[in-house]
Amino acid sequence: MSAIINDIEIIKSESSKINDVDFENLKFGSVFSDHMLECNYKDGKWELPKVVPFAPITLDPSAKIFHYGQSVFEGMKAYKDSNDDVWLFRPLENFKRLNISSKRLAIPELPESYFMEGLKALLEVDKDWIPKQDGSSLYIRPFVFASGSGFHASPADEYKFIIATAPSGSYFSGKIKVLIEQKYSRSANGGVGFAKAGGNYAGQFYPTQLAIDKGYQQVIWTDDTNHEYIEEAGAMNIFIRINDTLITGPTSDRILDGITRKSIIELAKSKGIPVEVRKISVHEVVEAAKNGSLKEMFGAGTAAVVSPISGFGFQDKDYELPEIESTYADFIKKSITDIQTNKSEDPFGWRYKL
Ligand code: PLP
Ligand code: COI
C-alpha cells in the first residue's frame, strides 16, 4: 500500500515533563514522552497521522477493543549515539509485522508511509527523550485497536493507530529462572500466536503468575499438542546452546517471528557459531542438562534484548545451568547492541538513521 504524506501536522504539548524524569534510573516502559502519534481509520480509510500531546483517550464503552480484543502492537527502540545521531533497528520489519498481525485480527492494514513518516515526525519532536546512557533507549510502542463501537461480534468500522514512546532501562535485571510449561498453552495451530495480538499476552498472565508464585520469572511455552517441544519464553524467542551449537525452534503459526531472533541467527552464523533452526524437545534439553552438554539458554526480544537463563524447572525438578566464562549470550548481546547503537560496523544493513 502506498500513500504520500507531505506534511504531518504537529500539535505540541504546552509544557514538557522531561525535567521530572530520572534518566539515570530508568525502569522499563513506565514514563512516557511528551507526544504521541495518532491516526484514525474512518469511513473505510486511514486519515493522516498527527503528532499530538501524550494524553488519555476517550472511547465509547461499547468500543470493540473492550469486548472482542481487536488489538495488535509492536515493540521497537530508538538509540542515540555519542554524536547525538538517532538510530532505529530494522524498523520496516516492525511495520511489516504490524500489518501481518492486523490482517489476522481483521484490522485494516496501514500504509507504510503513515507508519514510517509518522514515526520519524514523532521522534524528531521528542528527540530529547531518547536516552544516551548505556543499556537505555527509547522504547517505541506502535499499536492499533478497534475504537469503533457496537456489541455485534464483528470487526469494528473505526480504528486508532497510536505510537507512544517511553525512555526505558532494561526489561529484566539479571538472569531469569524459567518454568517449562506442561499444562497451559500460549497458542495453537491455526490461532494467533504468530501475531502480536494483545490477547496473546493476557492469556499468558495467569500461568505466568502461577510460575512466579513458585519462584520462577518466566514460562517456557511448549507446543499445544503434547507439550513436547520448546517454543517461546514469555515475550521472547528462545535459544539453547548444547555443546557449541546454538539451537532455536522454527517459527510457525504458534510462534512470533522475532526480529531479534532472526538477527541473532544471521549474526551468530556470520561469527562462525554453528546454528541449528529445528524443533528441540524438552526431553533433549533435560538430557543435555543431566549429561552436562547444556551450556546456555537465553531469551531474545526487543524489550529484553538477550536475557540469560540461570536454570529451569520441569516436572517439579530444578535444573541449574553452568556458570561459564565466555558465553554466547554476552557475545551476541554486545555484538547486537553495538550495531544498534552505532558503536560498530553494520555489515547487515540493519541500522536505520533517522
Ligand atoms: N515472542 C514474543 C511472544 C514477543 O512478544 C516478542 C517481543 O516482541 C518476541 C518473541 C521477540 O520479538 P522481537 O525480537 O521482534 O522483539
Ligand atoms: C518487545 O520485546 O518489544 C515486546 O513487545 C515485549 C513486550 C511484551 C514487553
Q: How far, in Å, from the CA of 77 to the mean position of ligand 2?
A: 10
Residue 212 Cα to ligand 1 midpoint, Å, equals 20
Q: So what's the pLDDT on residue 7?
A: 82
d(CA 334, CA 340): 10
Tell me how crowded residue 18 is: count the other CB atoms within 10 A of its CB: 14
pLDDT score for 4: 60
With a cut of 50, say whether residue 2 has pLDDT above it: no
Express as a percent the part of the chain with pLDDT over 90: 95
Give the integer Cα–Cα distance in Å for 266 and 139: 24
Q: What is the pLDDT of residues 100-125, one digit of tens each?
A: 999 999 999 999 999 999 999 999 99
pLDDT, tens digit, 9 for 90 and up, residues 175-233: 999 999 999 999 999 999 999 999 999 999 999 999 999 999 999 999 999 999 999 99
Burial of 329-343, coded b for 16+ CB within 10 Å and e otherwise, reads: beebbebbbebbbbe
Q: Pairing relation of β-strands 236-242 and 9-10?
A: unpaired
Mean pLDDT calculated for residue range 138-143: 98
CA–CA separation, 161 and 97 (whole Å): 14
pLDDT per residue over 32-49, tens digit each? Answer: 999 999 999 999 999 999
Single-letter code of the amino acid located at 99: N
Task: Quote the pLDDT of residue 301.
Answer: 97
- Distance in Å, CA 196 to ligand 1 centroid: 8
Element (H, E) at 96: helix 91-104
Read out DSSP for 24-70?
GG--SS-S--SEEEEEEEETTEEPPPEEEE-------TTBHHHHH--
Q: State residue 173 phi and psi, 5-degree precision.
A: -105, 115
Indicate whether residue 234 lines ligand 2 (CB < 6 A): no
CB within 8 Å of 87: residues ≥ 6 apart: 78, 79, 80, 81, 340, 341, 342, 351, 352, 353, 354
| CATH 3.20.10.10, the chain: domain bounds | 176-340
Q: What span, in angstroms and rounded, lies between the C-alpha atoms of 152 and 130?
A: 42
Q: Which atom of ligand 1 lies nearest, measured to the CA of 200?
A: 3
Any ligand 1 atom below 6 A from CB of 309: no
Q: Which atom of ligand 2 is nearest to the CA of 201?
A: 8
Q: Which ligand is nearest the CA of 258, by number? A: 1
Q: Is the pLDDT of residue 12 over 80?
A: yes
Reported as type and span, the H/E element at residue 231 is strand 230-233
pLDDT digits 0-9 by tens, 252-271: 999 999 999 999 999 999 99
Cβ pair 98, 256 in contact under 8 A: no
Q: Give nearest CA residue, ligand 1 atom 10.
A: 236
pLDDT at 172: 85
Report whether residue 166 contacts ligand 2, using a CB cutoff of 6 Å.
no
Q: From the CB of 142, is ligand 2 less than 6 Å away?
A: no
Q: Whose CA is nearest to atom 12 of ligand 1?
A: 258
How far, CA to CA in Å, does 61 sit from each of 67, 144, 156, 248?
A: 9, 17, 13, 43
Q: Which residues of 138-169 are buried (b: 16+ CB within 10 A; e: fewer)?
A: bbbbbbbbbbbbeeeeeebbbbbbbbbbbbbb
Burial class (CB in 10 A: 0-12, 13-18, 19+), 262: middle
| CATH architecture type of domain 176-340 | Alpha-Beta Barrel (3.20)
| pLDDT given for residue 209 in this prediction | 98
Q: Cβ(169) to ligand 2 under 6 A?
A: no
What average pLDDT does range 135-145 have in this prediction? 97
Q: Kindly state if the Cβ of 219 falls inside 6 Å of ligand 1.
A: no
pLDDT of 1 over the 60 cut: no
Residue 147 predicted with pLDDT over 80? yes
* pLDDT above 60 (res 345): yes
The whole-number pLDDT of residue 218 equals 95
Verify whether ligand 2 is closer than 6 Å to residue 168 (CB atom): no
Tell whether the model's pLDDT for residue 3 goes beyond 60: no
Confidence of residue 31 (pLDDT cuts 50, 70, 90): very high
- pTM score, whole prediction: 0.96
Angle 180-100-67 (CA atoms, 0-180°, nearest 5)?
Answer: 75
| Ligand whose nearest atom lies closest to the CA of 237 | 1
Residue 220 CB burial class (10 angstroms; 0-12, 13-18, ≥19): buried
**Ligand 2 atom 3, closest CA:** 75
CA 307 to ligand 2 center in whole angstroms: 13
- Among protein residues, the one with the nearest Cα to ligand 1's atom 2 is 235
- What average pLDDT does this structure show over 21-31? 94
Query: What is the rounded CA–CA span in Å between residue 97 and residue 84?
Result: 29
Q: Is the CB of 235 under 6 A from ligand 1?
A: yes
pLDDT in tens, 282-340: 999 999 999 999 999 999 999 999 999 999 999 999 999 999 999 999 999 999 999 99
Region(s) of the chain under CATH 3.30.470.10: 2-168
Is ligand 2 within 6 A of the CB of residue 197?
no
Report the SS3 class of residue 128.
helix
CATH class held by domain 2-168: alpha beta
Relative to beta strand 71-73, strand 137-146 is antiparallel
Q: Is the pLDDT of residue 24 over 90?
A: yes
CA of 195 to the centre of ligand 2 (A): 12
Q: How far is the C-alpha of 120 from the C-alpha of 98, rounded, in Å? A: 17
Q: Which of 200, 256, 337 to mutate to test the pocket of ligand 1 (most atoms within 8 A of CB)?
A: 256
Specify whether the CB–CB gap between 191 and 254 falls below 8 A: yes
- Kindly state if the Cβ of 305 falls inside 6 Å of ligand 2: no
Give the Å distance between the CA of 285 and the centre of ligand 2: 26
